[in-house]
Structure 1
Amino acid sequence: MYSKLTLIVLFNLLVSNISFAKDAALESCEAAVHGHQYAQAVNIAEQYAGQPEFWLCKGRAQAGLAQNAAAQESFRQAIALKPQGVDLISAHMLLGNAQEAAKNTAGALENYQQALRFSEQQDLRRYMRVAHNLIGEALYGNGQHAESLQAFQAGEKLAANDDERADSYIHEAMAYQQLQQLDSAIEYQLKGVMMLQKSGTPEQYAEASLTLGKLFTSKKDYVGAGKTYQRLMAYARENGGAFYEAKTALYWAETKREQGDMAGAEQLVKEAGAIALKLQDAELDEMLAKAK
């Protein structure tokens, strides 16, 4: 599943790719944030307290330092300086993200709605889509799954490429799963997998495929789950993805156990164990310990 963290990372990348570099100092501040040199970014930003762009940079750096309250205050300062256009939209989105991280869902939703309103006023479809998805994520995290689905569906209508469509489909699948509509969850997760196979990273495709397999298993469609894991296993082998070869084996073993095929499950765990021994990966080791 795409997590809230994933969406925040995607949005922060989007913010950073907008033409922020109005001067060398701001470019240096943004570069420091990208390089995880957060203290340096804060020092640069503090020299330009009259400009909202620097407050945005400072807030992002403070968020990187896990200084949530300070980050929120920086984003509020940016808004108080009455930025225009994308800067204003970004300020509300970033403030909303910080509030959501602090479990202030009501505050986050208010700022996401503001970002959506300003995006609509300027017909900035990319930002409108991000705002809808952020609203959906906040509602989903608050247990309002039907409402979150509506937000994700609104975002899907604004998707401009396969990456954005995949993002929307997988978010919709998450909501459908929580609404106990497994057929729809599988349908949209499968759509997302197909899009990611064309345009996503290998990791995105693999994680989405693993989730699809679990959805099939939840529906007790073991044939569908087996085919999904078989395809992913072949993909991992062909693309040198030993980590996902092992992870797929462990997911598949769980499905085999549910079917009552203990011998098949044991063989898959054995295969995963041989790979884990070579990779020495903490996540794999933890999964393997649970599987045994």
Structure 2
Amino acid sequence: MYSKIALTVFLNLLILNHVFARDAALDACDTAIYARQYAQAVNIAEQHANQAEFWLCKGRAQSALEQHKSAEDSFKQAIALKPQGLDLVSAYMLLGHTQLASKNTKGALESYQQALKFSEQQNMRRYVRIAHNLIGEAYYNNGQYAESLQAFQAGEKLALNDDERADSYVHEAMTYQQLQQLDHAIEYQLKGVMMLRKSATPDQYAEASLVLAKLFIAKKDYVGAERTYQRLMEYAQENGGSFYEAKTAIHWAEVKRTQGDAAGAETLLAQADNISQKIHDDELTALLAKARAKP
């Protein structure tokens, strides 16, 4: 969960920094990162050590190279140069991202709280929401699920569209699952799936649906799980999603086997096997092998 939101925020910040680049050198630094030419980005940034924006670019390149300590130092240097507006909020968010990658949860929480404070001061609603979600991630990764849920709920209140609401719902669902509140987990995952069907990419909808089915299984509600698999199977077939048609069939077969329907399970596995032989996907091959190995 952590990497999903953090990388999304990371990409959003990249886009914004690219759009608002003030000069050709900063534009070139951002472009180098887009092209994954991280050493080049660092070299460009080091020629402008008196500007916070270039320290942010340098830190992003170092993060991409997994040079977390160096990246942390770069983001702190950017903050020391007293940037304003989005640059200041970005610096704290990126610093928190690096600290979390280094398993410094306390430091990450402090950085995200600073990002939240400055976002609120400047009435940057979008970034207030992102900061709440990042705080929720940090707490989640630290096993502090009650605090995580509160942060995600705060972010949900600021959602402006179906994508943002879906993002909040699925993360709340995961947190409820950790709190062993399966009814709430299913409720919020279902809400998220419904939003994702309208606004997300097919793979996002499919993965969220698979999670929903697993929640039903955890509650031993096999009817709910099968209904979810049926909807996803139909969606995959209607939208040309052969991979997810096969993946759904494999997971659905496990439910059939659990209920003693060996014939139904075998039919689904044969369906998945037929697709796998056509598209030659490693993940499907591994899933099928694992499913066949079960008694």
- Asked if 1:146 is matched to 2:174, the reply is no
**1:7 is aligned with what amino acid?**
I
1:98-177 mapped onto 2 (5 Å cutoff) = 98-177=98-177
Summarize deviations over 1:18-44 as a string: whole Å, max 9, x none. 243111111111122122221221121
- Asked if 1:13 is matched to 2:11, the reply is yes
Range that drifts further, 86-95 or 15-24: 15-24
Distance in 1 separating the partners of 2:141 and 2:83: 30
Q: Deviation at 1:264? A: 1.5
Summarize deviations over 1:236-276 as a string: whole Å, max 9, x none. 11111111111111111122222222222222122112212
8 Å CA contact 1:162, 1:199 repeated in 2: yes
Distance in 1 separating the partners of 2:109 and 2:289: 40
Q: Deviation at 1:200? A: 0.6
Distance in 1 separating the partners of 2:109 and 2:260: 46
Distance in 1 separating the partners of 2:61 and 2:268: 44
Q: Deviation at 1:229? A: 0.6
**2:204 is aligned with what amino acid?**
Q
Summarize deviations over 1:187-243 as a string: whole Å, max 9, x none. 100110111111111111010011011111111111111111111111111111111
- Asked if 1:32 is matched to 2:37, the reply is no
Distance in 2 separating the partners of 1:33 and 1:77: 19
Q: Deviation at 1:15? A: 0.9
Aligned-residue CA RMSD (Å): 1.1
The SS at the match of 1:48 is coil
TM-score by length of 1: 0.97
8 Å CA contact 1:20, 1:26 repeated in 2: no
Q: Deviation at 1:289? A: 1.6
8 Å CA contact 1:213, 1:225 repeated in 2: yes
- Asked if 1:82 is matched to 2:82, the reply is yes
Range that drifts further, 82-91 or 247-256: 247-256
- The sequence identity of aligned pairs, in percent, is 69
State the aligned residue count: 290
**1:83 is aligned with what amino acid?**
P
Distance in 2 separating the partners of 1:255 and 1:52: 55
2:61 corresponds in structure 1 to 61
1:52 corresponds in structure 2 to 52
8 Å CA contact 1:249, 1:272 repeated in 2: yes
8 Å CA contact 1:269, 1:288 repeated in 2: yes
Summarize deviations over 1:88-108 as a string: whole Å, max 9, x none. 111111010111111111111
Distance in 1 separating the partners of 2:36 and 2:6: 16
Q: Deviation at 1:184? A: 0.6
Range that drifts further, 110-119 or 253-262: 253-262
**1:265 is aligned with what amino acid?**
A
Summarize deviations over 1:108-132 as a string: whole Å, max 9, x none. 1110011001111111110010000
Distance in 2 separating the partners of 1:291 and 1:188: 29
TM-score by length of 2: 0.96
Distance in 1 separating the partners of 2:11 and 2:121: 23
